[in-house]
Amino acid sequence: MANLINEAEIRETWSPIIESATGITEASKLAWMSEYCHNHKLYEDANIMSLSNNPGPMNLGGMGAVAFPSDFDGAADGSGDKAPTLLPLAMQVAAQTIGLDLVPVVPMAGPMGLLSYLDFVYEGGRTDTAGNGPTYIKTADGASNGDTLQGTSRIDGLNIIEVGATTQANGTITATYADAVLVAAMEDHIPGFSGNSDGSPYSREDGESTADKVMGLSLFSKAVEAKTYQVAAAVTREQVQDLKQFGVDAVAQVEAVLTNELTQSINDLIIGEIETQAALNTGHGIAVTISGTYTGGETQGSEHRKIMTGILACANFIANKGRRGAGNFAVVGGQVATAIQSVSGFVPNPFANTASQTAGAIYPVGSVAGVQVYTNPKWAWNEATVLVGRKGDGNGPGLVFMPYLMAESVQTIAEGTMAPKVAVKSRFALVAAGFHPQTQYASFEVGGTIL
């Protein structure tokens, strides 16, 4: 379902509503939430409500049994019930899901779609097609047929090979190198590509007589399917009636619990996938050990400050490995967060920070030299893992969150008890995009006695 008005109009329409409902003022978050709200509203308006397609002998046809429409084939239209997707509830889920601050968000207009992202490659071409294969490839195999080894990839250690005429004449590169892939120019570099084979620049004469080698801008697409989290809760009629005397709306409380359940599930999924990607980005050798004994001018504060150094080291490692920019967020457990908060005002070695020293600060803790620090309360108190990552713009490598329906709510009345039941469903995709999404994340462990 395509947006029917331009992005500026969408933001102008929805930003004030989102700010009023959720208190969010961050421009980037308002941008994607406005697009999501627009898509959501189109989805709601597209639903058709009817009473009955086949009243039979009845003078006034009832709605009959509740029946959902079939997924895609259109064989069944459903019973005509319009599931209230509750945009306010969807906005609350989006606002409370702190994991969405860690990854770029690209709203989906339907249950399936394509995520497109850009990358630059050396010359491009297809490795499985005769006559137009690339000159430079990466492979685990050694060079053969007179091809030239140009070095190894700094990302995955594969051999970078310049393919010669003999291999090209075989029809397809994969006939010689079964696992050949393109060489991404942003992450890897071939020194001899823009000059002489040894990496030195051309002389004027050679520059005039040598044809330019061509970089390729490639648009890659990845098929995306919306996955589902769903949960339901029920209350009795007595609960609805009796809680009113205390000013409590039982159904609203149930929706709040279900919203929290969805939020925690999405947070866990995002942080878990960040952990998985960070484990693949190895080689930094960053380790932090907190000593329990102090000599000279050392204090507990100076030991805790090592954690900040580790975070900054990971952030710079991401800039070095991914070449897209430094890490800009970190996720820590409660004990590590306490150490960061306690040392935020450490005077002998001050550092730029906005770490809050207020007890109970959960999300976020604050920033350390421009790296936003978040606490994950789901981790055990003594969890010593520190995750560091870079939130991009969705056009480069890394994780991308693609919401279709952040929260769809269906309320029914049980026939036997006449008690209300609420079911909430969230549909979205979490996609690892780009050639090397793992380069945007790193992690380390804090050893020793933290507190």
pLDDT digits (tens, 9 = 90+) for 364-389: 777 877 888 998 888 889 899 999 99
pLDDT over 70 (residue 127): yes
H or E, element range at 388: strand 385-389
Q: How far apart are CA 139 and CA 158, in angstroms?
A: 5
Query: Above 80 in pLDDT, residue 90?
Result: no
Three-state SS at 363: coil
The class that CATH gives domain 83-111+226-451 is alpha beta
- Kindly tell me if the per-residue pLDDT of 445 is higher than 90: yes
What's the DSSP call for residue 430? E
Q: Which of 21-25, 87-91, 175-179, 218-222 has the lowest mean pLDDT?
A: 87-91
Structure tokens, 123: 């010359």
pLDDT score for 399? 93
Out of 16-20, 86-90, 181-185, 442-446, which region has the weakest mean confidence (pLDDT)? 86-90
Measure the CA–CA gap between 436 and 221, rounded to whole angstroms. 15
Cβ-contact 137, 173 below 8 angstroms: yes
Tokens of residue 296, six digits: 């000279």
Residue-wise pLDDT for 186-228, tens only, equals: 778 888 888 888 889 999 999 999 988 888 777 777 788 899 9
Q: Which residues pair with 227 in a beta bridge?
A: 428
CA dist 79 → 20, 43, 47, 67, 426 (Å):
35, 18, 12, 5, 22
pLDDT band at 255 (very low <50, low <70, confident <90, very high): confident
Structure tokens at 362: 């959960």
Residue type, 142: G
Which residues, at least 6 apart from 238, have a Cβ–Cβ distance to it below 8 Å? none
The dihedral of CA 317, 320, 323, 325: what is its sign? positive
Is the pLDDT at 128 greater than 80? The verdict is no
CA 283 to CA 298: how far, in whole Å? 29
Sequence-ordered list of residues with C-beta below 8 angstroms from that of 118, at least 6 positions apart, any chain? 217, 218, 219, 220, 395, 396
Q: What's the whole-model pTM score?
A: 0.72
Q: In this model, does residue 117 exceed pLDDT 90?
A: no
Q: What is the C-alpha separation between 241 and 206, in angstroms, rounded?
A: 89
450: nearest Cα among 332, 338, 329: 338
Q: Which residue has the tokens 């890659």?
A: 220
pLDDT tens-digit map of 256-287: 888 888 888 888 999 999 999 999 998 888 98
pLDDT score, position 185: 82
Domain ranges of the chain: 1-47, 83-111+226-451, 118-221
Q: 277: exposed, middle or buried (C-beta count within 10 Å: 0-12, 13-18, 19+)?
A: buried
> Can you read off the two tokens belonging to residue 77?
């239209």
Question: What's the CA gap between 154 and 158, in Å, rounded?
Answer: 8
Closest CA to 331 of 388, 256, 252: 388
Tokens of 41: 């509203």
